[in-house]
A and B are shown apart, each in its own frame.
Chain A
Amino acid sequence: MNAVRREYEAIKASDAYYTVSMLEPDDFAFWRGKARQLVQCGIPPDKVSWTEPGSSGDLFAGAGTQLPVPPAEAAPIRGSKRFLALARNAVLHSDPQRFALLYALLWRLQSNPRIMEDKTDPQVRQAEELDKNVRRDSHKMHAFVRFRRVERDDGSEHYVAWFEPDHHIVRANAGFFKRRFANMQWSILTPKGCIHWDGKTMRESPPAERGDAPGSDPVEALWRKYYASIFNPARLKVGAMMSEMPKKYWKNMPEAELIPDLIAGAQARESRMVDAGALDFGNRPDTLAGVNAAIQQCRQCPIGCNATQAVMGEGEASSCHDVTAKLMIIGEQPGDQEDVAGRPFVGPAGQVLDKYLAQAGIDRTRVYCTNAVKHFKFRPRGKQRIHQTPTAKEIDTCRWWLESERAIVKPRVILALGASAARGVLGKTVSVSQVRGQSMPLDDGSELWVTVHPSYLLRLEGGVKSEQERLFAADLTEVKRRLDALVRNG
């Protein structure tokens, strides 16, 4: 007895290193046999390496070292039920480290039989993750295998599928397909091995290629029709689809080729349906006072009820009479101070604008100033109200009011400050840096100029700031020159 113990003390202390070569990548029984033998001989996890068939093996492994034979009186090996169930599944994972990880856990189980309950243990978590991935892969195999019907020479029908699993799950899932399609002749071909059922027995064969499976099935036309028809375009949720049916599966699913067109068509179809009952703004007001009254009541988008008040545009003599200004300047939306004052461009950005307008020789009192969106959109943070960029949808909704103002004020030139303002005029998003400094003709005979919003200048620092200030001043000067030319030509 003492001699035996000494011998195993010697193994533990020695530098002996053992390699176990798995014969199959998914053979749990084989792994269990070897692992049991190693634990009984007291060989710790860092003295064993596990290699898969087809792998180049562990560089540091002493190749060919014989596993010692465990002593006859060695204590039985403990493996909790939970561990065995988990290991049986995790062994199917394609991670080459899986055998070693499971052996390390089995090793630790001998001294702490309840280790699997400690879900915060990194190795337990890792093994559970492997188990989860394999279960998911198996579940996706049950779901996404697509059989195609082939007629054999003798008139019998055979159903053949091509599937590409991530892990070594094919053999383990043969039973599911047998129970489901017991009275059908079928084959599932995969790059990790194939299974065949003839109605009585299961047969395995080596890995196949996609070309070995049939390329089509006439019933797929019906299935595609069903897939396209059951989809509700009003509920587009592409992210939810992608997380459950990742793109890697698409190439083997006949319905997946429809997806890009369904998504593209959905937004158009939905907006057609919503347009049928389009937002009802009622009649267009024909005075600025009428617009002002209407925007205070407007609740066509979620920010309608947000702020203190809707902020109307203003310009020359706008207090009583309706104006015709030659220049209309459009900002994004009222800010914190504008919202309180009820007037556009009175906050910090407004002061920057005033400064540059004066520099360019434009008299602000003779300009009509307004915003693409009439309500202040913000997020509360403590006592502060933090500006939020309006969404494209909100800008588009508010276009109704901007168009009403344009129809009344009839400007010759419109200067849009920033991308939101440009969208308010054009109905589409443009890049400010690409369109600035040039005139864009509009349908009503006026023209649009685009530059950055003055608040952008406030956020910059250093060299970038002075460069952008120069560009902004140049844009305003250009607009002034254009206005003068229009005046000269009547």
Chain B
Amino acid sequence: MGSLSTLEKLGILADAAKYDASCASSGTAKKNSLGGKGIGSTEGMGICHAYAPDGRCISLLKILLTNHCIFDCHYCINRKSSNVRRARFTPQEVADLTISFYRRNYIEGLFLSSGIIRSSNFTMEQMVECARILREDMDFRGYIHLKTIPEADPELVHQAGLLADRVSINVELPTDSGLTRLAPDKDARQIEGAMGNVKSDIVEMKDAKKRFKHAPRFAPAGQSTQMIVGADSASDADIVGKASRLYDGFKLRRVYYSAFSPIPDASAVLPLKRPPLIREHRLYQSDWLMRFYGYQAREVMQATDQDGNLPLDIDPKLAWALKFRDQFPLDVNRAPREMLLRVPGLGVTAVKRILAARRHKKLRLEDVGRVTVSISKVRPFIVAADWRPTHLTDRADLRSLLAPKQEQLELFAS
């Protein structure tokens, strides 16, 4: 393997990393390189430096240190029994690559993950070393996200948090039984134990930072995790429930959902289908409802169909509103913020604008139209100064009136 060029290794190790959904570079502490020796800055807002034709943002250099792995997880392209080409970077090589990309303004920083070589501790040490070279030897002040290994020594995970902006540990599958079946070397309790350790480190260090100005920062952009959707039989209700427990229990910044995509040389126990992208999208929407719209997990679950899955043809907010029509219509001139947020078609920004504008005048339907994207979606659920939906809210075929046309979903079907 020593004969591979940097270009070849980069190709193999980036290809191996593309199944990780996260590429976020936002929400970390502000820093810049003024007065330092190196380069880099983070100013709160994440920056997407490019978009791939899969519609995903490229913000970080997202690679594996190595794709050799002693584990045999069925859904993973890098599992022991897979026939993919293998490669390995040294920590110094990854650091050099990060800096030369950063200098040209290609990236916000590094997202480093790795297959397990020799042992979990050995692998974790190598990843921490890479972050150390960047931060200490090169005075790099950009963004670093380290995927930590739950089986590694907690002390190593702690060091990772001191160097990185964000740490993450993947729960991989929404149910414990799925994990046992598809990732036989992993243990759900160990994963959650490691997430618990990271959480208490974050809380402790944040507390210390309040009292001592020079207390070190610990993962200022928090921790996140990822679940694979569609590789096992878990329903959307299971997934939403799991996500909500993770948010509450471990104070996660984000839960990422990754539609299981067909991988080359796949294990025989997996569905080789087009990835369930719309399902993934609906899960992200339900995640937004819980994080920004004040929905409880059980309320999102109320929007699911009998089989426990969210409808694919309409978004979960509309599904909820159609099920609970007695809550509507709402008067845009009187309803409180938390109720306006439940109106399908009104986003957080639109609600903010309505609240500000209604202090000045009685809002008419056209005023609402000016602050939102599509008034036709909103109309059946609101009352305005000159508008009352009368029968519209009660119509039995309201769903088909509001559902997007089928063609849109099947844009790439042929």
Contact = CB atoms under 8 A, between A and B. Distances in A.
Interface string B102-128: 011110000000000000000000000
Contacts of B12: 229
B61 A226 contact: yes
B275 A234 contact: yes
A223 B356 contact: no
Contact of B262 (A144, A255, A274): A274
A425 to B, nearest CB: 17
A74 interface: no
A382 B397 CA distance: 7
A63 B326 CA distance: 65
B406 A231 contact: no
B209 to A, nearest CB: 22
Interface in A209-227: 217, 219-223, 225-227
Q: Which of A178, A235, A381 has the most CB of B within 10 A?
A: A235
Given A117-B360, A180-B32, A273-B262, A244 B101 contact: no
Contact of A244 (B45, B51, B61): B51
A149 B56 CA distance: 27
B403 to A, nearest CB: 10
A276 interface: yes
B261 interface: yes
B104 A232 contact: no
A114 interface: yes
A299 interface: no
Given A117-B357, A235-B261, A277 B103 contact: no
B322 to A, nearest CB: 15
A46 B354 CA distance: 30
A391 interface: yes
Interface in B340-384: 353-354, 356-357, 359-361, 363, 367, 370-371
Contacts of A240: 51, 55-56
Contacts of B41: 176, 179-180
Nearest to B359: A117
Interface in B24-70: 32-41, 43, 45, 47-58, 61-63
Given A184-B39, A225-B11, A237 B33 contact: no
A182 B51 contact: no
Q: Which of B45, B354, B397, B413 has the most CB of A within 10 A?
A: B413
B400 interface: yes
Contacts of B263: 273
Interface of B is mostly: loop
A438 B23 CA distance: 56
Interface in A233-247: 233-241, 244-245
Contact of B36 (A182, A245, A392): A182
A358 interface: no
A239 B101 contact: no
A380 interface: yes
B14 A229 contact: yes
**B contact residues, range:** 35 or more
Contacts of A346: none
Given A118-B360, A119-B353, A235 B55 contact: yes
A4 interface: no
A262 interface: yes
Interface of A is mostly: helix
Contacts of A262: 52-53
A183 B277 CA distance: 43
B410 interface: yes
A222 B15 contact: no
Contact of A227 (B37, B50, B97): B50
A148 interface: yes
Contacts of A393: 410, 413-414
A323 B264 CA distance: 44
A287 B228 CA distance: 43
B356 A182 contact: no
Given A147-B103, A217-B104, A273 B264 contact: yes
Contacts, number: 206
A237 B55 contact: yes
Q: Which of B36, B275, B414 has the most CB of A within 10 A?
A: B414
B370 A119 contact: yes
A442 interface: no
A207 to B, nearest CB: 21
A38 to B, nearest CB: 26
A183 B356 contact: no
A426 to B, nearest CB: 14
A147 B360 CA distance: 49
A270 B53 CA distance: 14
A391 B414 contact: yes
B402 interface: no
Nearest to B42: A180
Nearest to B263: A273
A241 B51 contact: yes
B245 interface: no
B266 interface: yes
A176 B413 CA distance: 43
Contacts of B33: 179-183
A124 to B, nearest CB: 9
Q: Which of B49, B271, B356, B367 has the most CB of A within 10 A?
A: B49
B272 interface: yes
Given A180-B32, A230-B62, A276-B272, A146 B412 contact: no
Nearest to A147: B104
B53 A259 contact: yes
Given A222-B97, A277-B262, A382-B397, A227 B413 contact: no
B55 A239 contact: yes
A244 B361 contact: no
Contact of A245 (B11, B51, B264, B360): B51
Interface in B387-414: 397, 400, 406, 410-414
Given A143-B47, A226-B10, 10 more contacts: A125-B370, A148-B104, A180-B33, A182-B34, A182-B35, A223-B101, A225-B11, A231-B54, A241-B54, A392-B414
15 contacts: A119-B371, A120-B353, A120-B367, A147-B104, A225-B11, A229-B12, A232-B52, A232-B54, A235-B54, A236-B54, A240-B56, A273-B263, A274-B273, A392-B414, A394-B413
- Across the A-B interface, the 5 shortest Cβ-Cβ residue pairs: A240-B55, A277-B272, A237-B55, A392-B414, A179-B32
Interface of B: 6-7, 10-12, 14-15, 17-19, 32-41, 43, 45, 47-58, 61-63, 97, 100-101, 103-106, 259, 261-264, 266, 271-275, 277, 353-354, 356-357, 359-361, 363, 367, 370-371, 397, 400, 406, 410-414
